Chain A
Amino acid sequence: MTSRSLLIGVVILLSVALGAGVYVWNMRRPALSEAAAIYAHPVAPPVSGPTERVILVVAYDDAGVLLPESANIPLPEDRQRRAEELLRALLNRYLEKSSSHPLPAGSEVRNVYLVDPGLAVIDLSAALADGHRSGMLVEELTVASLVDTLSVNLPGITRVKFLVDGKPRDTLAGHADLSDFYDVSNVGRMVHALQASQ
């Protein structure tokens, strides 16, 4: 074998190695971004078991009212997880295509903390608050719907506090106050005023 043949062979081998490297690198990038996309949208494991009949207090934007609707959903035994599943069922209702009160994609209830005596802390996702439509009525409907659904199905809750991504926030989308505690009976009055003024 001449030195020229040896040189050509080395060049070919190097080219193949370089090409293989570029190919592997390109294969790796979509895989990483796909993994990141999956990580960005965690999905809570579905609750299995027998279903229970619950009341969801559903907002209707067109009429500007809240109406109770019954639904059958699987609920765990743990009171805190029951609260979370209740509100997730409500949000799923709002995330449907023909929703009466559309919420932005990615809206979710991250956690509900039940603190004695009678305090529930609802931790909403940033996607829900950041993408929520702005307006006094539309924000009030969201807040009242969440508070009323929780209090109707879990007796004993007297106050509700909202967090967004685990942090306090002044307003939902520029209007509804999230900085203070909601008194469940006051929210009941607010819901009543919505029905009465219709």
Chain B
Amino acid sequence: MRFVRLWPGLGREWDTSSGECQNHAPTLSLFLPLRYKGLVSVTPVSVHGMTCARTLRTVACFAAIGMALTVSSRRLFSSPAEEKHISVYSLVADYSLPVVERDGQDYIGLLEVLEPLGNVSATTEGSHWRLHYNNQQVNFTAGSNRADVRRSNFDLGGDFRLENGRGLVPLSTLGPLLERILGGPVTFHEASRRVFIGSEAVHFTAQINPGIAHSLVMNFTSPVNPRIATEPGKLQMLFSREPVVAPGSMSLTFDDKVIPSASYAEENGTAEITISGNVPLFATFSNGNRTITISPAPLAVGQAPAPGGPPAAAAAAPSRVPPPVVVAPTAPPSPVQFFAVVDASHGGAERGEALTDQLAEKDVTLTLARALRQELEARGINTLMLRDGDVTQGLDQRASLTNLAHPAIYICLHASSQGHGVRIYTALLPTGGSDVGPFLSWDTAQSPFLSLSQAVASSLALELETKQVPVRILLAPQRPLNNITAAAVAVEVAPPGTGIADLSSPAYEHLVAGSVAAGVLSVRGKLEAGR
């Protein structure tokens, strides 16, 4: 379990079985979930033994006591809900800590932040606080806004506070301070209070599954386990323990009438993805919790009553009560249809090879991918493009999306200024992959499909040779070929031989795309047999 115990003595710790952040104080643990859902209950105050014959003074006295109780109870009960948190994500532990406020400024206990990350201790000498972290020494002085970190001065952006031996540093400079102490990159989302140490991040894509009506497939680069809440018109996923980060755009729109949009937000140490739906939605998990599929709740799909159920009129009436959250680790739906996944490599911030001063590999591969889709569909082969725009996609994302879709073939497109003609690659698998039962090792998932991939490569090469395009069949140590659970090839297109400008000529693209599509068609029988 990645989640570890938090700083002891603060009254909060992770429950590693349920994954919930719980409070030791029973009163607070009772009210946290209530307030979280926005359902604040008012506790009635009853005083037994009172009669109506009391004097006005007594009434006034109790009124004053009542007001005091009201005020104090509001303070007591409201404080947990308004409690600020910071979430820290690192390779060794993901955890959440409370943030305290002093003189209008947010502070965090530095020892608590560092404790799960390494060997840390602190000593207090008068107003001086000395922190030892993995052989590093950091010196702070109460009331001073400077600290001595790795023998250089560091501006804390506010006074250091020493409270009962506990060192508090201003939250605003926690990111650069941790960078200095840890000696590595730290990304701090200050507004939402989320700290990412090193390269910790979980990216995700969201796409309507073309094979299944009204099905939104969200692929995450690591397993996730969000809290899910439904309300009429939306489904919310709250990620407090996973370093989920924003996609390219905070708002996503889909060409689907039932699930038209989704949005991403961060607040108080938590990432939140909200999916809008015109019908009640539910979520299913698959692919080792790397994939979440959002689809209409079963009642919403057909709106048909079960045999012996209520009359049709009653069943068709829209339910005012939100459906229960259904979270079941089920196998992903598997449309049994023959289709290809075409992957235009690179994209977005990742440009690939600079083919010329103006021409990037990512642009050529996208044009080629569109041409290939046209050629495949002209031959009756449905095609799913992993990207149809200038967006950044990780290799894991591409592999997850492909594996979830269960295509017959995956074709990754590259472009190069080196050499000439077309090079077709199959996977060069790394060592160390070990399958466990029905589960394939991620790094060598391609292994059972390698012979099928080689057959595809031969078929493509044959078609290209027929069209007089120089072609080579090679092995590539390149992801995501290794991770694909279907026949998978990478096609690297170089200029035909006359110059780099011809690489992006429509005639050459048409020639290559047509040959590749013809090669896929001629091996379709093998591909269908191999599924």
Contact = CB atoms under 8 A, between A and B. Distances in A.
A136 B475 contact: no
A180 B430 contact: yes
A140 B474 CA distance: 10
17 contacts: A64-B472, A133-B418, A135-B414, A135-B416, A136-B425, A136-B476, A137-B474, A137-B492, A175-B414, A180-B477, A180-B482, A181-B432, A182-B430, A186-B429, A193-B473, A193-B474, A197-B472
Interface in A126-177: 133-138, 140, 143, 159, 170-171, 174-177
A95 interface: no
Interface of B: 346, 350, 352-354, 361, 395, 414, 416-419, 423, 425, 428-432, 443, 472-479, 482, 490, 492
A113 B485 CA distance: 34
Contacts of A170: 395
Contacts of B429: 186
A186 B425 contact: no
Given A135-B414, A135-B492, A190-B474, 7 more contacts: A61-B418, A133-B418, A136-B416, A138-B418, A177-B478, A186-B430, A189-B428
A73 interface: no
Contacts of B416: 135-138
B475 A193 contact: yes
B353 A135 contact: yes
B465 to A, nearest CB: 12
Nearest to B431: A183
Contact of B419 (A137, A171, A177, A190): A137
Contacts of B478: 136, 140, 171, 175-177
A138 B414 CA distance: 13
How many chain A residues sit at the interface, stated as a range, is 20 to 34
A197 B352 contact: no
A133 B353 contact: yes
A194 interface: yes
A136 B473 contact: no
Given A136-B416, A177-B478, A159 B353 contact: no
A134 B443 CA distance: 23
Nearest to B184: A167
Nearest to A194: B474
B423 A136 contact: yes
A92 interface: no
A15 interface: no
A134 B472 contact: no
Nearest to B424: A197
A179 interface: yes
Contacts of B414: 135-136, 175
Contacts of A62: 419
A135 B472 CA distance: 15
Contacts of B475: 186, 189-190, 193
Most chain B beta-carbon contacts within 10 A, residue among A137, A181, A186: A137
Contact of B443 (A135, A175, A180, A197): A180
B524 to A, nearest CB: 25
A159 B431 CA distance: 8
B473 A64 contact: no
Interface in A21-37: none
A176 B479 CA distance: 8
Contact of A136 (B350, B431, B443, B492): B492
Given A135-B416, A182-B430, A190 B346 contact: no
A161 to B, nearest CB: 10
B294 to A, nearest CB: 30
Most chain A beta-carbon contacts within 10 A, residue among B350, B361, B417, B431: B431
B431 A181 contact: yes
B418 A64 contact: yes
A159 B433 CA distance: 13
B417 A174 contact: no
A180 B442 CA distance: 11
B477 A135 contact: no
A157 to B, nearest CB: 13
A188 B474 CA distance: 12
A186 B428 contact: yes
B21 to A, nearest CB: 32
B353 A140 contact: no
B418 A177 contact: no
Nearest to B362: A174
B268 to A, nearest CB: 32
A39 B477 CA distance: 35
Given A136-B490, A193-B474, A174 B353 contact: yes
